[in-house]
């Protein structure tokens, strides 16, 4: 622990306090706007409203089953991929790509494969068998959520199996333990520590998802809280019901996250695909078999086919038309400007936030430290559509900010800053622990400390935070909640606009171009992943 000889200085807390005030005001603005636009709120009528409870029930059920199947299948896949180092490395690369792709593009690929006129439907028609799977509704929502979250869940559980030491593997072989005995006596101990946190994490992600429901939702019977808030604010101007649903979502999700935080059970989400298997001892229990390879093949087909569908469907006669479209290039440059601005401010604000919060932690001001991070957690749990609408009203009506770029950059920054904080938190805390006493003794403070000591160690993680923030901002659908059609375009809105008007081929071409853009960004992220430890 840091010595108490050097008391924390108030000036070192100012950057984090400024960011906390910004985040707190954003949180309060949601309910301020919703309640200020609601007149004579009758909570009794809201509580007995059958439609609202139907929306809440559907949201909980789709999130629960999405999390349940993601974790259940991830347990088996993590065990199987551990046995095959070659396919495991391929899978980890693939999981990283699917994690950063926008849900709109992923959903397009899944619809091409599993939709009523998709590849599997055509195969069923060839053998004259009825294809009854419905992508527009509960089944399609759960399938899409599982596709997006399964690779991520498998990657985290795979890390748990990797943590079993070589000595334990050797003892297992000496005892002659059977597979089921090994699973319950050894492996389960490592897996169970991650299963519940991963379940909660996937549940919250599925609970608050907007884009998937917007595309695959099957009307009023398949509406979630997030989509219902969007509809109530933008089409019905029903701010009372939007406020009620926002409180329900915030309260429930926040309870789950605070519960995990209190247990210190948040799953580690750092990328570890470079870890080598070559020198590791592997028990005979985990030797690769034909059945394992069949399951690996099936899982690879499940993950790769939607990505292949994006490419094949995108190569059509409308691709040239899209490339010549003035609105496409306008959307492209709008998205690039917004992504760069959002990435820059996300990284800058995360650095300012952590600069102060780590001071609180290492000087044992734990209450203030937890309060800092609780504010960032609340920001994650807020309904994005409610946050976007509230901030857009404040920026346009109260502060009279008319710049579309600035409005969306500010909103994206506030939405994605908690993720940048998670990326930079551990490396910034480590640097503080190792170099703080040295900096204090040499009186290296402020910006001098950042550029002389911190930047040299943090530049890799700052690049990573910047690129991932660009990933999220490029695929964000929040502009839908602010601007009407043709007034301001981003790539995600351009894609959704074509889908909404049933221009399927044009939408497929746009998906392909966005997919290629993300592959380029992913390769840049891989290049920057060459971290030098000096």
C-alpha dist (Å) from residue 394 to 29, 167, 240, 383 = 8, 60, 18, 17
Is residue 182 assigned to a domain?
A: no
C-alpha dist (Å) from residue 469 to 25, 347, 479, 481, 490 = 22, 8, 16, 20, 16
Q: Which domain holds residue 512?
A: 316-533
Is residue 169 assigned to a domain?
A: no
Tokens representing 327 are: 């609105």
The owner of tokens 């071409």 is 509
Is residue 332 assigned to a domain?
A: yes
Tell me how many degrees the CA angle 237-238-239 measures, rounded to the nearest 5. Answer: 100
SS in 3 state form for 210-244? CHHHHHHCCCHHHCCHHHHHHHHHHHHCCHHHHHH
**How far is 414 from 399, CA to CA, in rounded Å?**
17
Is residue 233 assigned to a domain?
A: no
Give the total residue count for the chain.
534
The confidence score (pLDDT) of residue 66 equals 92
Instruction: Name residues of the chain where pLDDT drops below 50.
Output: 1-6, 265-280, 485-486, 532-534
Is residue 2 assigned to a domain?
A: no
The confidence score (pLDDT) of residue 229 equals 79
Is residue 14 assigned to a domain?
A: no
The confidence score (pLDDT) of residue 153 equals 85
**How far is 133 from 56, CA to CA, in rounded Å?**
24
Tokens representing 38 are: 């609601």
The owner of tokens 């019905």 is 236
CA-only gyration radius of the chain, Å: 24
Is residue 280 assigned to a domain?
A: no
CATH of the domain at 378: 1.10.3720.10
Is residue 322 assigned to a domain?
A: yes
Number of domains in the chain: 1
């Amino acid at each position: 622990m840091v010595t108490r000889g050097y008391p924390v200085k108030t000036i070192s807390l100012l950057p984090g306090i400024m960011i906390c005030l910004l985040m707190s005001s954003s949180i309060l603005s949601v309910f301020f706007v919703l309640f200020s636009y609601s007149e004579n709120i009758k909570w009794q009528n809201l509580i007995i409203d059958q439609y609202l409870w139907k929306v809440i029930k559907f949201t909980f059920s789709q999130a629960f089953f999405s999390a349940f199947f993601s974790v259940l299948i991830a347990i088996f896949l993590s065990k199987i991929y551990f046995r095959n180092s070659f396919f495991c490395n391929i899978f980890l690369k693939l999981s990283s790509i699917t994690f950063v792709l926008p849900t709109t593009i992923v959903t397009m690929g899944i619809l091409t494969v599993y939709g009523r006129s998709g590849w599997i439907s055509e195969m069923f028609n060839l053998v004259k068998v009825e294809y009854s799977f419905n992508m527009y509704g509960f089944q399609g929502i759960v399938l899409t959520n599982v596709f997006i979250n399964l690779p991520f869940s498998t990657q985290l559980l795979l890390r748990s199996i990797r943590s079993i030491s070589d000595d334990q593997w050797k003892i297992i072989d000496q005892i002659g333990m059977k597979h089921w005995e090994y699973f319950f006596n050894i492996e389960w101990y490592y897996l169970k520590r991650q299963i519940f946190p991963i379940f909660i994490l996937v549940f919250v992600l599925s609970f608050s998802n907007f884009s998937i429901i917007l595309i695959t939702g099957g009307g009023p019977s398949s509406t979630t809280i997030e989509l219902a808030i969007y509809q109530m604010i933008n089409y019905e101007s029903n701010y009372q019901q939007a406020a009620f649903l926002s409180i329900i979502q915030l309260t429930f999700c926040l309870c789950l996250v605070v519960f995990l935080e209190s247990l210190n059970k948040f799953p580690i989400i750092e990328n570890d695909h470079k870890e080598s298997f070559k020198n590791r001892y592997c028990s005979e229990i985990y030797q690769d078999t034909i059945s394992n390879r069949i399951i690996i093949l099936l899982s690879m087909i499940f993950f790769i086919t939607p990505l292949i569908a994006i490419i094949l469907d995108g190569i059509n006669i409308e691709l040239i038309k899209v490339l010549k479209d003035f609105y496409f290039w306008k959307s492209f440059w709008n998205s690039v400007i917004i992504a760069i601005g959002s990435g820059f401010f996300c990284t800058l604000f995360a650095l300012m936030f952590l600069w102060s919060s780590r001071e609180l932690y290492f000087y044992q001001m734990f209450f203030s430290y937890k309060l800092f991070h609780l504010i960032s957690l609340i920001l994650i749990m807020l309904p994005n559509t409610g946050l976007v609408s509230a901030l857009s009203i404040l920026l346009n009506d109260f502060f009279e900010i008319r710049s579309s770029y600035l409005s969306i950059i500010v909103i994206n920054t506030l939405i994605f800053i908690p993720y940048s904080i998670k990326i930079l938190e551990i490396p910034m805390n480590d640097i503080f622990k190792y170099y703080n006493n040295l900096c204090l003794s040499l009186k290296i403070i402020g910006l001098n400390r950042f550029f002389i000591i911190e930047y040299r160690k943090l530049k890799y993680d700052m690049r990573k935070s910047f690129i991932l923030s660009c990933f999220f901002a490029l695929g964000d659908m929040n502009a839908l909640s602010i601007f009407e059609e043709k007034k301001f375009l981003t790539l995600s809105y351009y894609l959704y606009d074509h889908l909404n008007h049933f221009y399927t081929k044009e939408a497929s071409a746009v998906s392909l171009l966005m997919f290629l853009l993300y592959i380029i960004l992913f390769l840049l992220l891989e290049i920057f992943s060459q971290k030098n430890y000096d």
